[in-house]
Structure 1
Amino acid sequence: MIPGCISNYVLVDSQIEEAIHVSAPLTTQVFYDVIRIKQGVPLFLEQHANRFFRSFVLAGFPYVIPKNKLRSALMLFLKHEKLHEGNVRIVYYHDATPSFCIYQIAHSYPTADMYKNGVAADFFHAQRKDPNIKQELHIRTLANQEIIRKAVFDVVYVDENQMVREGSRTNVFFVHKTSLVTASSESVLCGIARENTIQIAHEMGIDVQQRNIALSEIAQFDAAFFTGTSPKILPIAVLGNYTFAPQNMLVQQCIDAYNQKLENYIQTYI
């Protein structure tokens, strides 16, 4: 069985198979994406698909399946699995058999208390080699160990130049007065929630600065939050030795607007 798979079935190269009969192939290059399912709808599927295929292009590999078949493959899996709520993983194993799989993975969504009072996080001195390519890397294993050791929601990467980049499984935004500040798109894995947050901010007339963020700047920010597939927009209460205001008005406005965008997507999809 594929490690991390919790579903009864796995879509393997466009065919449905029982999960107990499917094993992950041995390969050093694994590209993937995670899509949240809500009310049976794969949220922001088009954006996830574009990022999934963009990883192939950046790595110099051809598409594993035509773009227009990814949606039908995913819907076939959801139908057999009878999955209405949860997270699914789409995976491409380069130069291996099987090469393409879809299966359900465990998820952990923030509680109401976390959205209200924020979460704790810490810094982690590391950086992705190719941040725009979503692939399995040893750095994520090290980050997970640090998350467990420090009992935090996530760790935020700080590079060798002392620049704050992204969370190990999230993107991070800071609030400075009436502006949002986040690392430049060239230096991070641009998450779908990050893209939608920036779009929402622009629609609301909120200034968004995408730039290098020095670790020495963190003390000047009023608030901070994570964005991601599972957490959506999640306030940060503590980051390292710095504390922030989880109920900052700008953060709450972004949360409300993001949730509305999500609901609108579901209604349009249905």
Structure 2
Amino acid sequence: MKVLVNNDLVRREDVRIDFEDRGYQFGDGIYEVVRIYKGIAYELNEHINRFYRSAIEIGITPPQSKNELKGKLEEVIKENKLLDGGIYFQMTRGVAPRKHQYEKGITPNLIAYPLYFTRPEKQQNEGVSVLTADDLRWQRCDIKSLNLLYNIMMKQNAHENGAFETIFIRDEFVTEGTSTNIFMMKDNVIRTHPANNNILNGITRMKILQLLNKEHITYEEKLFTKQELLDADEVFITSTTSEVMPVTKIDGQIIGNGKPGMNTMKIHEFLLEEINTIQIEAL
């Protein structure tokens, strides 16, 4: 495996991380995961734009331009002959003596490497169960930072209890999952949490909203409660790795008829058609 370390592609076994890197000690950094289909990075520009937004929000100035970063990520894909999976990249503030505060002028550290996984077709076809939990995270969830401890705790809790995901509830309203955005459908209207500081505006979330507009499907970016979620006709979650994932059970309660909803499956088809079109255009 070849890994990008700042501007160099090196073998994984040759990667060295300084123990005073602020990402290692404080989680002081940002990251992205991009889906790869047939060697093509899907929505790469959108991921890079969000990456730079996160960097600006926490005061990191990437040394590479967006085009330079894009070129380096494409090198990682090509060098690793990555056809299906993803690419992970992160940037930390850099190496500095361990203090909470930091001096200006620290050189950020960039790392990127391939992820090997495939579409979770079985779960997409059968639907998944999820749990809910209080949203105890900080209130800048719009920044895709390395600080994911509570997300990890709740994801692990879901895993240990046979669930796919945990959905967060803040002040009685549903926000998002540990690594997903959530949608519900009631009476042919789709609802999802507004893109504010309480959620990460997912790249797949944004794409789904574009497709809903294109297909003239009514939706609202509007708050909804846990009870409204439980009473929904259909529920699905979205992410780079899950695409569109039907939710058939929440906290043990069956949603709808307990099977992936027809509208959910159709929306997933719209996304797959979009992905296939981009692949064809890239050839």
User: Quick check: TM above 0.5?
Assistant: yes
Distance 2:90 2:44 in 1: 15
The aligned runs of 1:1-40 (5 Å cut-off) are 8-25=1-18, 26-27=21-22, 28=26, 29-40=28-39
* Alpha-carbon distance, 1:244 to partner: 1.9
Residue 113 (structure 2) pairs with residue 120 (structure 1) = no
Distance 2:39 2:208 in 1: 23
**Residue of structure 2 equivalent to 1:204:** 215
The aligned runs of 1:67-216 (5 Å cut-off) are 67-96=66-95, 99-107=109-117, 109-111=119-121, 113-129=122-138, 130-137=140-147, 138-159=149-170, 161-186=171-196, 187-216=198-227
Larger Rg: 2
User: CA contact under 8 A between 1:180 and 1:207: conserved in structure 2?
Assistant: yes
Q: 2:270 aligns with which of 257, 260, 267?
A: 257
Q: Which moved more, 1:207-216 or 1:188-197?
A: 207-216
Distance 1:58 1:269 in 2: 33
Distance 2:108 2:172 in 1: 41
* Alpha-carbon distance, 1:152 to partner: 1.2
* Alpha-carbon distance, 1:269 to partner: 2.7
Unaligned runs of 5+ in 2: 96-106
* Alpha-carbon distance, 1:199 to partner: 0.6
User: CA contact under 8 A between 2:84 and 2:118: conserved in structure 1?
Assistant: no
Q: TM-score, with normalisation over the residues of structure 1?
A: 0.91
* Alpha-carbon distance, 1:98 to partner: 6.8
Describe the shift of the 1:30–1:106 C-alpha distance in structure 2 as closer, same or farther (beyond 3 A): farther
User: CA contact under 8 A between 2:76 and 2:112: conserved in structure 1?
Assistant: yes
Residues 50-109 of structure 1 show CA distances to partners (whole Å, capped at 9, x for unaligned) of 111111122232234211112110111112211111121011011237700111235464
Distance 2:115 2:158 in 1: 19
Q: Percent identity?
A: 21
Amino acid across the alignment from 1:164: V
Distance 1:64 1:174 in 2: 41
| Matched residue count | 261
Unaligned runs of 5+ in 1: 1-7
Cα RMSD (Å): 1.7
Describe the shift of the 1:206–1:192 C-alpha distance in structure 2 as closer, same or farther (beyond 3 A): same
Amino acid across the alignment from 2:265: Q
User: CA contact under 8 A between 2:229 and 2:235: conserved in structure 1?
Assistant: no
User: CA contact under 8 A between 2:135 and 2:168: conserved in structure 1?
Assistant: yes
Q: 1:232 aligns with which of 219, 229, 243?
A: 243
Distance 2:278 2:151 in 1: 30
Amino acid across the alignment from 2:80: E
Amino acid across the alignment from 1:18: R
Aligned partner of residue 195 in structure 1, secondary structure: helix
**Residue of structure 2 equivalent to 1:247:** 260
